[in-house]
Copies of this chain bind each other. A is one copy, B any other.
Amino acid sequence: MKEVATFSISHTGIIDADGKATGELPAFARDAAELIRLYRTMVLTRSFDARAIALQRTGRLGTYGSSLGQEAAAVGVGAAMRPDDVLLPSFRETGAQLLRGVSLRELFLYWGGDERGSDFQAAREDFPICVPVGSQAPHAAGVALAFKLRQQPRVAVCVFGDGATSKGDVAEAANIAGAWNLPVVFVVVNNGWAISVPRDAQSAAGTLAQKAIAAGMPGVQVDGNDVVAVRVVVGEAIERARRGEGPGWIEALTYRLADHTTADDASRYRDPAEVTAAWKADPIARLRTWLVASGAWGRQQEQDLLQACTAEVDAAAAAYLETPPQAPETVFDYLYATLPAALAEQRARFLAEAPRHG
């Protein structure tokens, strides 16, 4: 019996739950303005999140999936990307999408049940929110294939949850990305739960970073509540991929502080004590602590920021609520590039009947 291969999984954390640096700070993190930009996006994400839940509770938004507690994972990913990279998110990547230029109003529209919420006015090539879990992973490989064949120095970045790592699509996508040495980075946002299924019941794998080993690509773990570490680790994988050195896979450890969605009641299946404990690792509080300790942030800035975020969310919510529904014909008009003749009559019938009753 001889050993033919060995692997190891590393974990990176830089700013810990107490807001203290435990590792060397990367260059960007020594620029307070940059850290404040990330902080600001995290806070804005949380403001949006609270408003979305409030709107849902009052019947003005559809079922909504909160990203409470996961802001650092999303913002770290968004910050690590270049503008012409392509993001393929799941449904809790608000923070990343905001950095990509997706607007709050678009996000409200999406969750409000309006297709225009996926017609991003910026981030034109980014993929829309993906609901069928893990099914966007092969798209990321396909986008990366296009980059590679066209010799563009761009990277596809695909984000999904711990639950998604059990999906065959994800395994197939990772394998093809490895086999073809594609410029794609997969980020597992391990928030501990897939609805009611805890991480440990999802897989016997001790880490979800080690899923990468099956695809022959490097897999690493990062403290997903540490935006600095996420940005560093995801950034390294992205730049590696950009250099043509192949795909990457990162497991970001975080926690879903909210219910799965507004349609969920997490108290049915998880201990509130676990949630209370998880709050101690809140990604926003720790970065604030760090910023305050480093002298870059104070009470006044915090107050101003909260106010600014509220105002921005207010404006977006108002714009969303004022957006009239799409015209009925839009139900047909984006299906094909050109409406097939065979559908023209049906569309006409639809227009004649639909407005009357549905």
Contact = CB atoms under 8 A, between A and B. Distances in A.
Interface-central residue, A2, A179, A214, by most chain B CB under 10 Å = A214
A213 B214 contact: yes
A4 B8 CA distance: 7
Contacts of A246: 204
A10 B4 contact: yes
B221 A204 contact: no
Contacts of A205: 175, 178, 213-216
A204 B210 contact: no
Nearest to A169: B168
A24 to B, nearest CB: 10
A99 to B, nearest CB: 25
Interface string A29-52: 000000000000000000000000
Contacts of A10: 1-4
A205 B6 CA distance: 12
Contacts of A201: 179
B181 A4 contact: no
Q: Please state the number of chain copies in the assembly.
A: 2
A181 B207 CA distance: 17
A214 B7 CA distance: 12
A23 B1 CA distance: 8
Given A8-B3, A204-B215, A214-B214, A172 B167 contact: yes
A273 interface: no
Interface-central residue, A6, A179, A217, by most chain B CB under 10 Å = A179
A263 interface: no
B215 A5 contact: no
A9 interface: yes
Interface string A180-220: 01000000000000000000011111110111011111000
A316 interface: no
A63 interface: no
Contacts of A11: 1-4
Contacts of A217: 204
Contact of A168 (B5, B7, B168, B209): B168
21 contacts: A1-B11, A1-B23, A2-B10, A2-B11, A3-B10, A4-B9, A4-B10, A4-B209, A4-B221, A5-B206, A5-B210, A7-B7, A166-B172, A166-B179, A167-B168, A175-B203, A203-B215, A204-B246, A205-B216, A211-B214, A213-B213
